[in-house]
Amino acid sequence: MPKLGNQTWRFESEPRVVTTGTIAGRIESEGPLGSWFDVKLDKNGMQSHSWEHDEQSLFNQSANLALQKSGISPKQVDLLIGGDLNAQLSGFYFGLRDLPTPSLGIYSACSSSTEALALAGLALDSGMAHYVLAGTSSHNSTAERQFRSPTEYGVQRPSTAQRTVTGAGMALLGKTGSNIALTTATIGRVVDYGVTNPWEFGAAMAPAAADTLTAHLQDTGHSLEDYDCIATGDLGHIGHKILRDLLSEQGLDPGGRLTDCGILIYRPDQPEVFSGGSGAACSTLVTFAYLLHQLQSGRWRRLLVAATGALLSTVAAQQGETIPSICHAVTFERKDASA
Amino acid sequence: MPKLGNQTWRFESEPRVVTTGTIAGRIESEGPLGSWFDVKLDKNGMQSHSWEHDEQSLFNQSANLALQKSGISPKQVDLLIGGDLNAQLSGFYFGLRDLPTPSLGIYSACSSSTEALALAGLALDSGMAHYVLAGTSSHNSTAERQFRSPTEYGVQRPSTAQRTVTGAGMALLGKTGSNIALTTATIGRVVDYGVTNPWEFGAAMAPAAADTLTAHLQDTGHSLEDYDCIATGDLGHIGHKILRDLLSEQGLDPGGRLTDCGILIYRPDQPEVFSGGSGAACSTLVTFAYLLHQLQSGRWRRLLVAATGALLSTVAAQQGETIPSICHAVTFERKDASA
């Protein structure tokens, strides 16, 4: 059966990650994972005539990087799936509009990365596509404009805040092409614990991560020990601690295998990174550039990426609404050629 | 083969439309299709404490209407797929957050309705879901706030403008449950003809509709005559005329079978409807309430709905950007019990 339990899709054809393309902002490139990104911006500040255009350009470059590495032409790609944090997905739609490819825009805030991968897996597994490009972008300055205050205000941030990652990543997935397979996707439910403070994403999103992780384990019959690494999207240091507490209440102790892309992407001593990274590109950059390499190198055999999204909007926040959250998880596995 | 040509998915298992739920604003209810909607709002103006909350409530009611008619409980639904025009999809995510169902937010402006249906078909056809709720909402006043000026400004509109439909619709799709099947989906490409005027959606979107319609015909090997009705999403009167011209350049004459949901939803003499309806709920309401009934009644056997989306954002428009557009098309067919 392709469906497992209530929330999990199993991709029986084991679609593969053919190539990835990643491009990271300066602060991200100066972080501990800097050497893993394909392209590292060496300066801050606007590169073109607007922050939004900069973000669109990052998205476009990441797609072209993945294509160039693969030798696959844009015309051979059946589907683009992606999203970003800008209203009406302008990063995705404007950034990739020069590709002659059927396109599906998706949005689940910072879990857009795994939503895109889940749908890419579905399209490949069902035989509706041979090649899919999936990914996300985010940009610190477009997100500030979108969700918070003009950067010129110099708003002071609390230590619970997270820094929106600047960058973009796309993966080219296909029926064959590498020994890294996308094997399952667990589709999350909206979870709302009533957090209203838009500086506390980690607290808002941790319950969604716990909900999806427990659903994934239940649906697949796996235990935590079956994974070499479980990486949440961007809970940051504070959300990560809350997630550990929530899992502990259910008798689950993930130990050292549980990490978080928002923690991994910055060093704690980098300026103004507070509780860690966030943004739709955070889990994309960390997964595509760093985590998948641990499977390629043979260090790991099975990786679960559970990207988390805080579903707030500026209007909703101004109207005093809570912050519903969601988490979609995908499994990557190393498949040996002899297997 | 499940994939046809470059852009079309064929759903070999022929998933069915089990039920639909539609709720329409007062202006829409006073239009020519008023009698077809399940729930008709009898007054304009805010029904709760915000326009946004009103829209979320419409979305929620449409889901519950579809569920109630079917006798299917929310827990039996495998997947919610939908979107709306609000930044960060707050109509969808806030409106449906009380449903305990895995959720996928999607966005392609006013073609979100057919994007949601395409993905619902994919999830059902692949065996990943037994029941999916798919749909969209839009609200005249939230769209004004999102895309244009505060309504208090009383901005005068040109005759090319379209009126954003207030309403919501969801369809419950399943493997069985009616004689109306969702048989194909053609995924659109982003098309940008350089239109920059946000009052001219019809002109911006007509090339995308032409692109997807011709791709659909090429992929399926069908001719226009194989359809009893081809309904574009919300081109309005002006965009509809442009589409006819674009098709004519390719030697295609759809005659009377080509219509448009934005034309159908209002009478031309209704106040301030200008070139016709638009909004993510426009094609949803017209399709779910009216067009599908023509299949149920046996008047038609095959219907193509090609919802069109103008992918502008407020920020992009203010930055002088063009309006890229997209169109996703789905086919519904009547299947006789004896077949």
Residues of B with Cβ-Cβ distance to A118 under 8 angstroms: 104
Chain A hits for B119, Cβ within 8 Å: 104, 119
Rounded CA-CA distance B233/A171 in Å is 32
Give Cα A44 to chain centroid, integer Å: 22
Quote the minimal CA–CA distance from B203 to chain A in Å: 18
Tell me how many degrees the CA angle A124-A210-B79 measures, rounded to the nearest 5.
Answer: 40
Considering only CB atoms, A189 lies closest to which of B86, B103, B126, namely B103
B131 C-beta neighbours (distance < 10 Å), count: 24
What pLDDT, in 10s, does the model give residues B70-84? Answer: 999 999 999 999 999
Instruction: Verify whether the Cβ–Cβ distance A187 to B103 is below 8 Å.
Output: yes
Q: Treating both helix axes as pointing N-terminal to C-terminal, what angle do B112-125 and A112-125 enclose, rounded to 10 degrees?
A: 50
Residues of A whose CB is below 8 A from B2 = 126-128
Q: In the predicted model, what is the mean pLDDT of chain A? A: 94
**Does A115 sit within 8 Å of B119, measured CB to CB?**
no
With contacts defined as CB-CB under 8 Å, which chain B residues touch A3?
Answer: 78, 127-129
Mean pLDDT to the nearest integer, A63-90: 97
Q: Which two tokens stand for residue B233?
A: 């999403």
Burial zone of A20 (CB within 10 Å; 0-12 exposed, 13-18 middle, 19+ buried)? buried
Contact residues, chain A, for B146 at CB < 8 Å: 87, 315
Per-residue pLDDT at A150: 65
Nearest to A52 among B127, B316, B326 (CB): B316
pLDDT tens digits, residue range B126-144? 999 999 999 999 999 898 8
Contacts of B99 in chain A (CB under 8 A): 190
For the cut 90, the answer to whether the pLDDT of residue A45 exceeds it is no
Contact A313 B88 (CB under 8 A): yes
ipTM, two decimals: 0.96
For residue B339, what pLDDT is reported? 44
Q: What angle do CA B15, B18, B24 make, to 5 degrees?
A: 120
Query: What is the DSSP secondary structure assignment for residue B253, as one 8-state letter?
Result: -
Interface contact flag, B324 A97, Cβ < 8 Å: yes
- Please give, rounded to a whole number of angstroms, the shortest distance from the CA of A269 to a CA of chain B: 32
Bridge partners of B330, per DSSP, are B185, B305
The average pLDDT across B224-247 equals 97
- Cβ-based contacts of B77 with chain A (< 8 Å): none
Question: What CA–CA distance (Å, rounded) separates A77 from A73?
Answer: 7
**Of residues A87 and B261, more confidently modeled:** B261
* Residues of chain B positioned with their CB less than 8 A from the CB of A87: 87-88, 146, 313-315
pLDDT digits over A149-190, tens only?
666 667 777 888 889 999 999 999 999 999 999 999 999 999
Q: Does residue A81 surpass a pLDDT of 50?
A: yes
Asked whether the predicted pLDDT for residue B44 surpasses 80, the reply is no
- Name the H helices within chain A: 26-29, 51-70, 90-95, 112-125, 140-147, 201-220, 236-249, 261-264, 280-285, 292-296, 314-318
Reported as a single tens digit per residue, the pLDDT across B280-306 is: 999 999 999 999 999 999 999 999 999
Mean pLDDT of chain B: 94
Half-sphere exposure of B322 (CA within 13 A, CB side): 15
What is the nearest CA distance from A226 to chain B, expressed in angstroms? Answer: 23
- What are the E-state strand segments in B78-232? 79-83, 103-105, 131-138, 163-164, 167-174, 180-186, 229-232
Enumerate the residues of chain B whose CB falls inside 8 A of the CB of residue A146: 87, 315
pLDDT at A273 over 60: yes
Residue B3 exposed, middle or buried by CB count within 10 Å (0-12, 13-18, 19+): middle
A106–B107 CB contact, under 8 Å? yes
Q: B76: distance to nearest CA of chain A, Å? A: 9
How far is B14 from chain A, CA to nearest CA, in Å? 14
CA B19 to chain centre: 16
Instruction: Return the closest-CA partner of residue B313 out of A26, A49, A167, A52.
Output: A52
Q: How far is A258 from chain B, CA to nearest CA, in Å?
A: 23
Q: Which residues contact B67 (CB under 8 A, 6 or more apart)?
A: B19, B21, B73, B74, B77, B133, B172
Mean pLDDT of B145-160: 75
Write phi, then psi, for B246 (nearest 5 degrees). Answer: -65, -40
Identify the residue with better confidence: B42 or B24: B24
Domains annotated for chain B, with CATH where assigned, are 3-174 (3.40.47.40), 180-334 (3.40.47.40)
Mean pLDDT of the B220-237 span: 97
Q: What is the average per-residue pLDDT within A234-240?
A: 95
**Would the CB atoms of A93 and B314 count as touching at under 8 Å?**
no
Longest dimension (CA), chain B: 59
Query: Is the separation of the CB atoms in A77 and B187 below 8 Å?
Result: no
Examine the pLDDT at B273 and tell me if it is beyond 80.
yes
**Considering only alpha carbons, which residue of chain A is nearest residue B75?**
A6
| Residue B247 parent element (H or E) | helix B236-249
Mean local confidence (pLDDT), A257-265: 98
Angle between helices B201-220 and B236-249 (to 10 degrees): 40
Task: Indicate which of B13, B88, B325 best probes the interface with A, i.e. most A CBs within 10 Å of its own CB.
Answer: B88
- Nearest residue on chain B to A89, alpha-carbon basis: B107
Task: Tell me the average pLDDT across A195-223.
Answer: 94
A312 contact residues in B (CB cutoff 8 A): 88
Q: Which H, E and C letters describe A25-42, residue by residue?
A: CHHHHCCCCHHHCCEECC
Residue B144, pLDDT score: 83
- Closest residue in chain A to residue B145, using alpha carbons only: A315
The predicted structure's pLDDT at residue B222: 98
Contact B127 A3 (CB under 8 A): yes
β-bridge mates for residue B308, sequence order: B327
Specify the residue for token string 């999990």.
Answer: A8
